[in-house]
């Protein structure tokens, strides 16, 4: 009875605020705003992955920039001038395609401070690294070359974009970003053949881990996300999945084991697909076989307080 009461109270503490209720998540504390809880499907009713992290009503970080997320950003009331870092988990279109919209928006907002972009490197011919990706978007020969001034050290357009590759191969943690507000760490995860990283965000004495798309073959997230207040993971496949899907994504039962190993206070399930919608009760049961914390199914526009 006591454990059920604690779980109920935890859910109340983490209650979401929607766009319609407020232009922001909360005046105080750390919040995760779901700009996109879906996948790249055009029929799932949700935007592709993107998450905004607030600290005391100031938007500090963007994790992934899925299509349409810039519209959600606008609705949230966030100020692009406050964003320190845009951190990408992978360079699939459904995780990154709105990046130029954010850069153009920052230019229109007369941003003056450097904007850091962090994302995976690559050792395959099929996928480019993040530095090359940004060059192909806004470099001199890029698709949006009118933004190329943002990459120049002289910052002729008022602010500079600083891009860095983060290792997406092996198992060593990366931890080269720290500011007065935020500390970031990253670790490579296995997502089929796609260079992918998970992010650990330490902010305001809270920890949020964005595991993104992973198949748990490396069994690394449980340690990487140790004692996280929130573990955000992809709920892309149902428990009955087999074959190639399991090479790319973790089953719900595996997500439960990872969250339990991490001792995460809450598990937020994003990247929800048509394969998993309508099966939430089955997924919850598989997760709760090993995990006793709060299990939250994300939707666009929600805010979850840590």
Residue 17 lies in a domain: no
CA separation for the pair 207, 213 (Å, rounded): 19
Query: Residue 12: what pLDDT?
Result: 45
Residue 78 pLDDT grade (very low, low, confident, very high; cuts 50, 70, 90) = very high
Torsion-angle region of residue 221: left (phi > 0), alpha (psi -120 to 50) or beta?
Answer: alpha
State mean pLDDT over 268-282. Answer: 95
Residue 124 pLDDT grade (very low, low, confident, very high; cuts 50, 70, 90) = confident
Please provide residue 9's backbone torsions phi and psi, each rounded to the nearest 5 degrees. Answer: -65, -35
SS3 156: coil
Torsion-angle region of residue 51: left (phi > 0), alpha (psi -120 to 50) or beta?
Answer: beta
- Report the percent of the chain where pLDDT is more than 90: 81
- Of 6-20, 122-136, 290-304, which gets the smallest average pLDDT? 6-20
State mean pLDDT over 203-221. Answer: 92
Query: Residue 123: what pLDDT?
Result: 85
Residue 21 lies in a domain: no
Q: What is the mean pLDDT of the chain?
A: 91
Residue 261 lies in a domain: yes
Residue 16 pLDDT grade (very low, low, confident, very high; cuts 50, 70, 90) = low
Residue 22 lies in a domain: no
State mean pLDDT over 74-83. Answer: 96
Note down the domain range covering 212. 2-12+27-305
Q: Give the chain's domain count.
A: 1
Residue 125 lies in a domain: yes
Residue 224 lies in a domain: yes
* pLDDT tens per residue across span 128-181: 999 999 999 999 999 999 999 999 999 898 999 999 999 999 888 999 999 999
By DSSP bridging, strand 303-305 and strand 182-189 are unpaired
Per 3-state DSSP, what percentage of the chain is helix, strand, and coil (rounded to 5)? Answer: 25, 25, 45
Token couple for 228: 């996280």
Residue 284 lies in a domain: yes
Query: Residue 14: what pLDDT?
Result: 53
Query: Residue 36: what pLDDT?
Result: 96
Query: Residue 11: what pLDDT?
Result: 47
Query: Residue 1: what pLDDT?
Result: 45
Count CA within 13 A, CB hemisphere, residue 35.
30
pTM for the whole structure: 0.91
* CATH code of the domain covering residue 237: 3.60.15.10
- Contact present, 184 and 201 (Cβ < 8 Å): yes
* pLDDT tens per residue across span 215-239: 988 889 999 999 999 999 999 999 9
CA separation for the pair 19, 26 (Å, rounded): 12
pLDDT of 121 over the 90 cut: yes
């Amino acid at each position: 009875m006591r454990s059920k009461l604690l779980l109920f109270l935890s859910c109340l503490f983490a209650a979401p605020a929607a766009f319609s209720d407020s232009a922001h998540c909360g005046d105080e504390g750390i919040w995760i705003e779901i700009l996109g809880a879906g996948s790249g499907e055009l029929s799932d009713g949700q935007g592709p992955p993107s998450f905004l992290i607030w600290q005391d009503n100031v938007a500090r970080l963007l994790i992934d920039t899925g299509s349409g997320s810039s519209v959600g950003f606008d609705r949230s009331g966030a100020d692009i001038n406050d964003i320190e870092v845009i951190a990408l988990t992978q360079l699939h279109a459904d995780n990154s395609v709105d990046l130029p919209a954010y850069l153009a928006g920052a230019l229109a907002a007369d941003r003056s401070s450097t904007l850091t972009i962090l994302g995976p490197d690559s050792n395959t011919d099929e996928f480019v690294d993040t530095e090359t990706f940004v060059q192909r978007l806004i470099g001199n020969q890029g698709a949006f070359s009118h933004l190329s001034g943002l990459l120049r050290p002289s910052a002729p357009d008022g602010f500079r974009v600083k891009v860095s590759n983060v290792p997406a191969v092996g198992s060593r943690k990366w931890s080269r970003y720290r500011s007065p507000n935020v500390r970031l760490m990253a670790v490579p995860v296995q997502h089929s053949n796609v260079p992918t990283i998970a992010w650990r965000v330490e902010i305001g004495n809270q920890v949020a881990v964005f595991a993104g798309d992973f198949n748990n073959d490396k069994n690394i997230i449980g340690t990487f996300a140790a004692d996280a207040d929130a573990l955000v993971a992809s709920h892309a496949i149902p428990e009955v999945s087999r074959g190639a899907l399991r090479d790319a994504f973790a089953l719900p039962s595996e997500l439960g084991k990872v969250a339990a190993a991490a001792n995460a206070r809450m598990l937020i399930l994003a990247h929800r697909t048509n394969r998993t919608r309508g099966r939430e009760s089955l997924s919850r049961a598989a997760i709760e076989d090993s995990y006793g914390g709060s299990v939250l199914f994300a939707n666009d526009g929600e805010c979850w307080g840590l």
